Chain A
Amino acid sequence: MKARIVAIASNTFREAVRDRVLYNLIAFALLMSGAAILVGQISIDIERLVVINLGLTAVSLFGMVIAIFIGIGLVSKEIEKRTLYTVLSRPVRRWEFIVGKFFGLAGTLIVNTVFMAVGVFAALLYVSHHFQQPDSWILVALYFIILQFVIITALALLFSSFSSSLLSAVFAFSLFVIGSFAEDLRGFAGLTHGLTRWLATGAAYLVPNFCALNVISSVAHQQPVAGQLIFYNTVYALIYAAMVLSGAVLIFEHRNLK
């Protein structure tokens, strides 16, 4: 079982690399070096802040785009190309296929993030000339961004398991936007009464909460991140991703592929 999941995951990773997904690193490198050189000339006293804010925002957005646009095709593309039947005709269970695909894309995103993180720290070294102890919190922000990728990859896979690529992209992107407003949604729920309150509260807990996973601004200001938040966010992201993946597996298990 483990070997089959690993095989599917490594194939997914290889496919992503073959699809030139890692080419985004070139754009990222150009963006970071451009920002590091230019910002000191066009602004005042925010070189370090811009490198961290721009770097982490780019890591997050580039990764989100990759997660959504690769994730939505993970199942539907295999069906369109009819390669899924070859895979499932072997002793591979449907849930192993979904989980393998998930780990493959998550692995691609982690590798991509590691390369980008090196770029962020290189640009930071260029503008600051030395690292400070609070710069280590940037690693926590990067870790939280990876947790966001884990959730969005699971969501893209869920939509890919029952919908077309276009609709999956719309659904996944919508959930990314709604998830960024999750705390507002909870605040809105608090203002309502009766059935609306129940529905709004339910929706607020059902959509992924990306707000708590975004600490870019605070680490840019060298503010520490509480250990408790790191732990709770990790558990939350893993539980949420497992929940969504279970949904994807359930749908895919019952899907008629004929």
Chain B
Amino acid sequence: MASLVLMVCMLGSALMLRLVDQVRTRATLEEVLYFSSPTILKRLSLGYDGLLADIYWTRAVQYFGSKHHEGAQSYDLLAPLLEITTTLDPQLIVAYDYGANFLAPQPPHGAGMARRAIELAEFGIRNNPDEWRLYYQLGFIYYMELKDYAAAADAFARGARVSNAHPFLKVMAARMAEHAGDNEMARMLWTTAYQSSTEMSIRANAAAHLRALQVDEDVSNLEKLVGMYRERTGHLPSNFLDLQGTGLLRGMPVDPLGHSYKLTAGGRVELRIPDDFPFVHKGTPPGYVPPIRPKILPTD
């Protein structure tokens, strides 16, 4: 009899908890942030601040992951979670490194808080002046999100002075003045991000950006060829074979995922599956609305 009651009560309590969860879906995180002051939390940790920082970092990752998954437009708790994490453990490089990546990009790819990302990276540099990746992150945010090329060059130059810095930092600092704003510079930055990270989601994001840069360049070049064809023949090509026929193009042009590009009747070059390229600026059909949840393909 007692064992029957035990089983029924166990099942009943689990069912009730599921109902409770439906009523208060956001309660867990709100409770975590009940202590919003990182300094008080550090004191309350009784010296076990390393473990608490790991817990808060995991919360930040979970929070960003769930928001990103649902294509959220606001990430209100992300910055406080990262601030608590890094105050508890100022040597937790991964929190600055990936945290800035979560904070800086515009929604839905990130929280759209480039200034908070810069503050986080600067706090990290103050506590870990020998970590070249933090200078790289700082320069990256200035370059990509704020288009402040002078500040980006300064961050890369500071990072290049660190003893074990990636050699690209010196190159990037030197080339910034000449190539600021062009695709080559952006490609160099994303390539470094791809090569210097072991985290699959970061590498996938960098690979998606590199593919998008390639598409932007392909579409520009192909549309230039379409213009040249029009100048020569007086009319638009009906397909890419026409361009090949005049010697302007060799072979069928394909996007970085191997699908052939489309040539529209109006002379526009478009992607066959634009949803596969979440960061492109060119090659999408007129009025194209990207999916709420960006499609980041897995990468090698």
**Chain A residues packing against B (C-beta within 8 Å):** 39, 42-46, 49-50, 52-54, 57, 60-61, 177, 180-181, 184, 210-211, 214, 216-218, 220-221, 223
Contact = CB atoms under 8 A, between A and B. Distances in A.
A53 B61 contact: no
B35 interface: no
Nearest to A55: B51
B43 interface: yes
B58 A217 contact: no
B50 A53 contact: yes
B50 A49 contact: yes
Interface in B195-216: 198-199, 201
Interface in B51-65: 51, 53-54, 57-58, 61-62
Contact of A43 (B47, B48, B50, B54): B54
B46 interface: yes
B92 A42 contact: no
B49 interface: yes
Given A43-B61, A46-B54, A177-B46, 9 more contacts: A42-B58, A44-B98, A46-B92, A53-B50, A54-B51, A57-B51, A180-B47, A220-B50, A223-B91
Interface string B20-49: 000000000000000000000001001111
B94 interface: yes
Interface size on B, as a range, is 20 to 34
Contacts, number: 64
A180 B43 CA distance: 9
Chain B interface helix/strand/loop/mixed: helix
Chain A interface helix/strand/loop/mixed: helix
A181 B58 CA distance: 27
Interface string B175-198: 000000000000000000000001
12 contacts: A42-B62, A43-B62, A44-B98, A45-B94, A45-B198, A49-B92, A50-B54, A53-B53, A180-B46, A180-B47, A184-B43, A218-B91
A49 B54 contact: yes
Contacts of A217: 49-50, 53, 89, 91
* Listed residue (A60, A61, A180, A210) with the most chain B CB atoms within 10 angstroms of its CB: A180
Contacts of A60: 48
Contacts of B199: 44-45
Nearest to B50: A217
Interface in B107-122: none
Contacts of A52: 50
Contacts of B57: 43-44, 46
Given A184-B43, A217-B89, A217-B91, A44 B50 contact: no
A102 B91 CA distance: 38
Contacts of B98: 44-45
Nearest to A222: B91
Q: Which 10 A-B pairs have the closest CB atoms?
A: A217-B50, A214-B47, A43-B58, A53-B50, A53-B51, A180-B46, A45-B94, A57-B51, A221-B91, A57-B48
A44 B198 CA distance: 10
Nearest to B94: A45
A220 B49 CA distance: 11
Contacts of B49: 217
B208 to A, nearest CB: 18
A214 B51 CA distance: 13
* Listed residue (B48, B57, B61, B89) with the most chain A CB atoms within 10 angstroms of its CB: B48
B177 to A, nearest CB: 34
Contacts of A57: 48, 50-51
A211 B89 CA distance: 15
A46 B94 contact: yes
A211 B49 CA distance: 12
Contacts of A50: 51, 54
A44 B57 CA distance: 8
A42 B92 CA distance: 17
Nearest to B200: A44
A211 B46 CA distance: 9
A221 B62 CA distance: 23
Interface in B95-145: 98
B254 to A, nearest CB: 34
Contacts of B91: 217-218, 221, 223
A26 B198 CA distance: 34
Contacts of A218: 91
Contact of A210 (B47, B61, B89): B47
B16 to A, nearest CB: 25
* Listed residue (B46, B49, B91) with the most chain A CB atoms within 10 angstroms of its CB: B46
* Listed residue (A42, A53, A60, A184) with the most chain B CB atoms within 10 angstroms of its CB: A53
Contacts of A223: 91
B284 to A, nearest CB: 31
A44 B53 CA distance: 13
Nearest to A218: B91
Contacts of B46: 177, 180
A49 B51 CA distance: 8
A217 B50 CA distance: 5
* Listed residue (A42, A49, A60, A223) with the most chain B CB atoms within 10 angstroms of its CB: A49
